[in-house]
Amino acid sequence: MKRTQNHEARDQNVSASDIRANLNDHHVRSRTQPVAWTGWDLLNGETVPTLTVVLRTRGCYWARRKGCTMCGFVCDSNPSATGPDIYREFLGVLARFGKEFKIIKIFTSGSFLDSEELSPDVRNAILAELKDVPKTIIESRPEFVTDENCEEIARSNAHVEIAIGLESSNDYIRERYINKGFTFRDFIRASKAARSSGFTVKSYLLLKPPFLTEAEAMRDTIQSVKDTTEYADIISLNLCNVQRGTFVEKLWKKRLYRPPWLWTAVEVLTQTAGNMPIICDPVAGGMRRGPHNCGICDHEIVAEIRRFSLSQDKASFKTTCADKVLWNFVLEFEEYSYGAPLVP
Ligand code: SF4
Ligand SMILES: [Zn+2]
């Protein structure tokens, strides 16, 4: 990778947590209620109904200490949450939506397995409630996916999948550009611990962290999918979007960052499909802060990416648009623009 204007910005060493420290209260959306919604996802090749619950815990410890460059989850935390409150709120969601879902996702905007966020008693009680659900997805940083924690939650008899935000298999990119604070080896160790307790593993990959050109980002994600195949059962491709109060937002405001093109996502999905399930929900797709193309074809392509996620069928991608010429130009020439996006 060439050294670029963006790399200079990185060297200013402004940490994500420094930026958040300057956030107004107005930006910090501390909430005391869990958020829940229903949807569809892929389970053993079938499209199944899902329930997603975001519990308002104190949030990710890493976000408070250093933070990842693209993550604004700290804005969704509730620093004063107590275990009994969280459990009561979780039961409230079940009372409202029921448990008749094939997949239930329990997210905390942090790590479900971090005892500082959710005490072992609370997390075990939550999982015990879900033991008859075919799949319960929880998220965790790898340092909490230990043999001890896995053996403990396995006693709940829930069918757990542990989702880990690997983002990239490239240690340099993950460490220097995302500030993730763990290595690919840490991910592999966590994956083995999860699998030895009978759990499946989902790996989140991030398309287009800051400081990469469009072409570098595409190559990095395609390589990451290949490297991860052995250690994950499913990949969730996250298309980077510009969240408030993040380092990425700071770059974006200076026109030093552009979210990925939807064409890049389509190319990654097309090139990697078939080896293992790979799903993608283009959050903020078609918006300036989200992955986007020219504005004319975005809506159709976002829908096709969602269709592909549920079918894994490359034939889902049918749309063509004149801006593909522009995207190809960006892929070829962006490295000569010293890292600045050529097209907004
Ligand atoms: S991306 Fe994950 S690990 Fe990084 S700060 Fe956000 S919640 Fe924490
Ligand atoms: Zn277009």
pLDDT tens-digit map of 191-213: 999 999 999 999 999 999 999 99
Share of the chain above pLDDT 90, in %: 81
Mutate to test the pocket of ligand 1, among 60, 64, 238 (most ligand atoms within 8 A of CB): 60
Number of domains in the chain: 1
Ligand 1: centre distance to CA 60 (Å): 6
Please indicate, yes or no, if residue 299 is contained in any of the structural domains: yes
Give the mean pLDDT of 114-132.
Answer: 96
DSSP state of 240: P
Rounded to whole angstroms, how far apart are CA atoms 65 and 44?
38
Give the Cβ contact number of residue 200 at 10 Å: 17
Ligand 1 within 6 A of CB of 144: no
Please indicate, yes or no, if residue 90 is contained in any of the structural domains: yes
Tell which atom from ligand 1 comes closest to the C-alpha of 111: 7
Please indicate, yes or no, if residue 343 is contained in any of the structural domains: no
Mutate to test the pocket of ligand 1, among 56, 58, 68 (most ligand atoms within 8 A of CB): 68
Ligand 1 within 6 A of CB of 290: no
Largest CA distance in the chain: 56
Residue of the CA atom closest to atom 6 of ligand 1: 71
Residues 6+ positions from 230 with CB-CB distance below 8 Å: none
pLDDT confidence of residue 31? 52
Rounded to whole angstroms, how far apart are CA atoms 152 and 120?
8
Ligand 1 within 6 A of CB of 60: yes
Residue 180 has pLDDT above 50, yes or no: yes
pLDDT confidence of residue 300? 98
Give the mean pLDDT of 6-34.
Answer: 49
Rounded to whole angstroms, how far apart are CA atoms 300 and 266?
12
- The tally of CA atoms less than 13 A away on the side-chain side of residue 248 is 24
Taking ligand 2, which is a single-atom ion, which protein residues have CB atoms under 5 Å away?
293-294, 296-297, 321, 323
Please indicate, yes or no, if residue 342 is contained in any of the structural domains: no
pLDDT digits (tens, 9 = 90+) for 286-302: 999 999 999 999 999 99
Q: Which domain holds residue 186?
A: 5-337
Q: How many residues would you count in the chain?
A: 344
Mutate to test the pocket of ligand 1, among 55, 61, 141, 166 (most ligand atoms within 8 A of CB): 141
Tell which atom from ligand 1 comes closest to the C-alpha of 63: 5
How large is the angle between the packed helices 83-97 and 120-129, nearest 10 degrees? 10
CATH number, position 164: 3.20.20.70
Split at pLDDT 50, 70, 90, the class of 136 is: very high
Please indicate, yes or no, if residue 33 is contained in any of the structural domains: yes
Please indicate, yes or no, if residue 34 is contained in any of the structural domains: yes
Please indicate, yes or no, if residue 219 is contained in any of the structural domains: yes
pTM: 0.91
pLDDT digits (tens, 9 = 90+) for 37-87: 999 999 988 999 999 999 989 999 999 898 999 998 766 678 888 899 999
Residue 34 has pLDDT above 80, yes or no: no
pLDDT confidence of residue 75? 65
pLDDT digits (tens, 9 = 90+) for 221-255: 999 999 999 999 999 999 999 999 999 999 999 99
Please indicate, yes or no, if residue 344 is contained in any of the structural domains: no
When the pLDDT of each residue in the chain is averaged and rounded to a whole number, the result is: 90
Give the mean pLDDT of 165-192.
Answer: 98
